[in-house]
Amino acid sequence: MHADLRVEDAGQVILVKCNSIIIENLNFSHTDVGIELWQTKNARIANNSIKNNRYSGIMLLDSSNNNIAGNNITKDNIGVSLDGSSNFNTVSGNNIANNNVGLGLYGWPPKGNSIYHNNFINNTEQAYNQRSNSDLSHRCSLHLSGSIHRLDSTI
């Protein structure tokens, strides 16, 4: 486990069981997943350009208390994916555009994730919840403003 480290000059980042990693001001493109966190906590993913990745721009698997902010996430299959027990994460201030799915929620029903002030633009599906029977609709609203879809919610 690593703590308080900054990732520099990487084409792809995969973190497994890490703590307090900073990933910012980098470019991630043309790989399977730009940034992947697995059982990682307290990471900061900010101000990155993430595009043209085969599966996801950013994928969290069983990861908690992470902050994803100010990124440009475009032309990926899934812009941001929260999988498994990824709880208490914050996704805010991102531009999520031209993906098949802007934001995907998969696996166990998410707990305590804050998703707000993101711009969802021209994604085939702005947000997807695999567990539609968990009734995300009463806790999540999609605000429309021109061609920009803004999702503000705590889930």
Q: Where are the domains of the chain?
A: 5-154
Tell whether the model's pLDDT for residue 17 goes beyond 70: yes
State pLDDT tens for residues 82-127. Answer: 999 999 999 999 999 999 999 998 887 778 899 999 999 999 999 8
Does the pLDDT of residue 151 top 50, yes or no? no
Question: For position 130, what pLDDT does the model report?
Answer: 80
The neighbouring-strand residues paired with 41 are: 19, 64
Strand residue runs (E) in 1-155: 5-7, 13-16, 21-24, 27-29, 33-38, 44-46, 49-51, 56-61, 67-69, 72-74, 78-83, 90-92, 95-97, 101-105, 114-121, 125-129, 140-145, 148-154
Residue 53 has pLDDT above 50, yes or no: yes
pTM of the model: 0.85
Burial of 18 (0-12, 13-18, 19+ CB in 10 A): buried
pLDDT of residue 1: 53
Distance CA 44, CA 76 (A): 20
Kindly report, residue by residue over 24-42, the tens digit of the pLDDT: 999 999 999 999 999 999 9
